[in-house]
A and B are shown apart, each in its own frame.
Chain A
Amino acid sequence: MADRERRMTPPYGGVFVARTTVLDAAQVHRALTRISHEIIERNQGLEDVVLVALQTGGVEIARLLSRLLFEIEGVDVPTGTLDVALYRDDIGLRPVMPEAETDIQVDLGGKIVVLVDDVLFTGRTIRAALDALTDFGRPRAVQLAVVIDRGHRELPIRPDFVGKNLPTRRDEVVDVNPEGVLLGEMRK
């Protein structure tokens, strides 16, 4: 989990304490490999496909996906990053700092955008991301790839590509990185 999410998860200023390992490094790699194949299969190749990583948790995942897609198809998929802090509906409800970079060099008009994030939770980040994307053009389609779907959706949003469905309690915290997926909680 990215530092920023860590800081914004109550109790603020706590530290993440892992309880169980949900996926190890090899399992994360296998899940991302499968997702890569699914992305290629769904879109019948990688023409017009653009990866857009959500800051900050999706960036490392998108980098891995882009490498896997290149290994499988030999295509260098354009990859961008998107920070949705300025589009969130909870601005003012909790500290929001747009300190992570948005960097989308391609015109998204007519493209197939695959949003990439580490964890899908309430769906509010994705809602904000869909709003933000419209300011960069009109994609032909937007798809969503996540490593973990942990449930507790508050909006009608579903992922297209999932590494693992993980039932969680609301107060638990999921930590995703290339070395594995940990389930735990924040402690003061």
Chain B
Amino acid sequence: MSNHLIKLADLDRDAIRELLHLTDRFVEVSQRPIPKVPALRGRTIAMVFFEDSTRTRMSFDLAAKRLSADVIDFPTHTSSLSKGESLQDTVETIAALGVDALVIRHASSGLPGEIAEAVGETISVINAGDGLNAHPTQGLLDAYTLCQHFHGAAGIEASLSGIHVGIVGDVKHSRVARSDLAVYRSLGAKVTIVAPPELQPTDLDNWPVDITDDLDEVLPSLDVVGLLRIQKERMGQTVVNSIDDYIERYGVTESRANRMNDNLVILHPGPVNRGIEIADTVLDKRPNVLINQQVTNGVAVRMAVLFRLLGSGIEID
């Protein structure tokens, strides 16, 4: 997996810390009068998004451009895939064009990993979200945002030790939750999954976490609430009986927000369903809602990943 980034569970704590510390540097670059460095000049990165994405795609795009890489878009809707070419052949064609990295998003869990194995050492594959499996750069940027909030920066020994994070919502269908869990655990945070029974993951055996369906019970002990988006498009059928019932039990409503400590941090990977996961007024007025900071940090995190894989001459172990 050395020249790819498929899922955070593949990385040990040192590799994660190194990426987060590298992110510190790119946060600084992003704040310069000219926030662009020539580190990846002459490298080409192909964006291969089989699933709709605005923010992740723009974030990767911007990250690549701030490193002076060239970016090409693979038009998945109008490509020869629709003419019947197999995905394998398509990817090999892109590789043969001479790109250095593929940033792939696909609805099918595990697909980026398969492509990475197929292309081997020739190009880097970066997973930008695959099905229910993983979204490693989101996990990294969530962890980075928390390190920055609690410690000012990630530093060389990034740690979330002593921090209690609640991951709230549709954990079952969330690749973000899986990536968050991997990185939070790696950095020593305590994690509690908060979800209605029908949205709790069924593959819990290996997950060393607490799990509850009662947000209000665990809320006083939380330092961070990581909200997940209710993903109507990924659920197949409506498992949540009633949105109103969900909001009542898991939404950050105004009345629930009033019971929260002001220091409690709220994260959300976006896009936010206003009025469902979090109320309008809370989103706009409450302190320590770090959603915009997550987006800003996302660019620096992706710069770190791209530089590490393509520019540093070092492999991720």
A→B interface (CB under 8 Å): 83, 85-87, 91-99, 101-103, 107, 131-132, 134-137
Contact = CB atoms under 8 A, between A and B. Distances in A.
Given A96-B313, A97-B22, A135-B33, A102 B28 contact: yes
Contacts of A92: 311, 313
A87 B25 contact: no
Contacts of B36: 135
A96 B33 contact: no
Contact of A131 (B22, B38, B156): B38
Contact of A91 (B25, B29, B34, B313): B313
Contacts of B72: none
Contact of B32 (A96, A131, A136): A136
A103 B32 CA distance: 10
Nearest to B26: A98
A95 B317 CA distance: 14
A82 to B, nearest CB: 11
B39 A91 contact: yes
Interface residues of B, number: 20
A85 B314 CA distance: 14
Interface of B: 21-22, 25, 28-29, 32-34, 36-40, 67, 156, 307, 311-314
Nearest to A104: B32
B313 A93 contact: yes
A144 to B, nearest CB: 21
A96 B28 CA distance: 17
B25 A98 contact: yes
B28 A97 contact: no
Contact of B37 (A86, A95, A101): A86
A107 B29 CA distance: 15
B28 A86 contact: no
Contacts of A134: 34
A98 to B, nearest CB: 5
Nearest to B41: A91
Given A87-B39, A93-B313, A98 B33 contact: no
The 7 A-B pairs of least Cβ separation, nearest first, read A86-B37, A135-B34, A86-B39, A98-B25, A95-B313, A95-B314, A91-B311
B38 A96 contact: no
Contacts of A98: 22, 25, 307
A107 B67 CA distance: 22
A99 to B, nearest CB: 7
14 contacts: A85-B39, A86-B29, A86-B39, A91-B39, A91-B40, A91-B313, A96-B311, A96-B313, A99-B156, A101-B25, A102-B25, A102-B29, A103-B28, A136-B32
Nearest to B314: A95
Contact of B312 (A97, A102, A131, A132): A97
Nearest to B35: A135
A139 to B, nearest CB: 13
A135 B22 contact: no
B262 to A, nearest CB: 31
Contacts of A94: 313
A103 B27 CA distance: 12
Given A87-B39, A92-B311, A131-B38, A99 B32 contact: no
Contacts of A102: 25, 28-29
Nearest to A94: B313
B37 A87 contact: yes
A161 to B, nearest CB: 27
A101 B37 CA distance: 15
Contacts of A132: 37
B66 to A, nearest CB: 10
A85 B22 CA distance: 12
